[in-house]
Amino acid sequence: MNNIDLIEKYFKKSLNDEEQVLFDNLLKSDQKFKEEFDFQKDLKKVIAVNQRESLKTTLQGFEDKFKKNKVIPMKWLMAAASVILILGLGYIIYQTSFNNSPEKLYADNFEPYRNIIQPVVRGESVDTIEAIAFAAYENGKYYKAINLFNSIEEKEYLKFYEAMCFLKLDKTQEAIDLLLPIATSNTNVEDLRFNFKHKANWYLGLAYLKMGDKNRAISQFSILANYPEDVYKKEKSKLILKKLN
C-alpha cells in the first residue's frame, strides 16, 4: 500500500489500527506526506463550502417557487385592497385640491387682455410711440412694451396694459401695484372702451391668486360677482369663487 492509498483510506475512515499507526508516523516524519495530506484536507473543506453555497442557491430556488405558488391569504388581499383604495382616494383628493388651487385657477384663467386701443393693422405704417408700444405688446415683446408705455404721458389704460406685461413676465407684484389704483379709482370713465376698472378687478384677483393670497383674490372676484349690472367676467368670477370656497 502506498502513501496515497493511506490518505484515501483516511478520508474514507477505513484505516485499520496498523495503518493508523503508519499514518500517524508518516505525518510526523515525512514532510511531503504531511503537505499532501494538508492539501487534501483543505480541499475537502473548500469543496464543502462550495457545495453549501450551491445548495443554498438550490434552496433559494425552492423558496422562490414556493412563494410563487403560495395562495395569497385573505388578509393580504384585504390589505392590498385597502392600499389601492387609499391610493385611489389620495389621488382624487390630490386632483380636486390641485384643480382648485389658486395657482391652477390662475393658470386656467389668465390671458392678457387684448389690445383694444391701437389695433395693429397690417400694412399700415406705425409711427406714434403708443402705436409702437402696442405693436410690441401684440408681438409679445413685453419688456420693450413696458419701456415704451413708461415713456409716454401717463394714462390709466397704459398702466393697465403695462400691468398685463408684468403679469405675462411673472412679475406679479409690479402688476398689482399698477392695477390697484385702477381698480379703486372713482373716476367715472364714460367711454367703456377706456374703462378698465372692472378689468383691473379681474386681473388683480388673478394676480392675488398667483401670489397665493386667497382672501384678497376673493374680495376682487366678489366685487365682480356681486355687481348689480352685467359686468366684465361676472359669471367667471362666480365660478372661481365657488371653487375657492
Partner 1 sequence: MREELTDKILESLKRGDNATLEKIYIDNRVAFINFSKKFGLPEVDALDVYQDAIIAFHENAINGKINSFNSSVSTYLFAIGKFMIFQLLRVDSGIEFDSNMMIEEKNIEFDVNLYDEKLTNKQKVIAKHFKMLGERCKEVLSLFYYQGYTLGEIAVILGYSTKNVLKSSKSRCLKQLKEMINN
Residues that bind partner 1 (CB under 8 A): 4, 8, 11-12, 39-40, 42-52, 55-56, 58-60, 62-63, 66
Nearer to partner 1, 41 or 155 (CB): 41
Q: What is the closest distance, in whole angstroms, from the C-beta atom of residue 55 to partner 1 in the complex?
A: 5
Closest CA to 133 of 116, 118, 123: 118
Q: What is the closest distance, in whole angstroms, from the C-beta atom of residue 37 to partner 1 in the complex?
A: 12
Nearer to partner 1, 61 or 181 (CB): 61
Q: What is the closest distance, in whole angstroms, from the C-beta atom of residue 43 to partner 1 in the complex?
A: 6
Nearer to partner 1, 52 or 155 (CB): 52
**How many Cβ atoms are within 10 Å of 41's Cβ, its own excluded?**
13
CA distance 141 to 212: 27
Q: State which amino acid sits at residue 12.
A: K
Nearer to partner 1, 44 or 193 (CB): 44
3-state secondary structure of 101: coil
Nearer to partner 1, 56 or 155 (CB): 56
User: Position of cell 393697465?
Assistant: 160
Please say whether the beta carbons of 176 and 204 come within 8 A: yes
Q: State which amino acid sits at residue 221.
A: F
Q: What is the closest distance, in whole angstroms, from the C-beta atom of residue 22 to partner 1 in the complex?
A: 20
Residue 15's contacts (CB-CB under 8 Å, 6 or more residues apart) are: 6, 9, 23
Closest CA to 206 of 100, 101, 106, 98: 106
Cell of 187: 373716476
User: Position of cell 379681474?
Assistant: 202
Nearer to partner 1, 16 or 215 (CB): 16
Nearer to partner 1, 66 or 245 (CB): 66
Please say whether the beta carbons of 129 and 148 come within 8 A: yes
Q: State which amino acid sits at residue 165.
A: C
Please say whether the beta carbons of 148 and 136 come within 8 A: yes
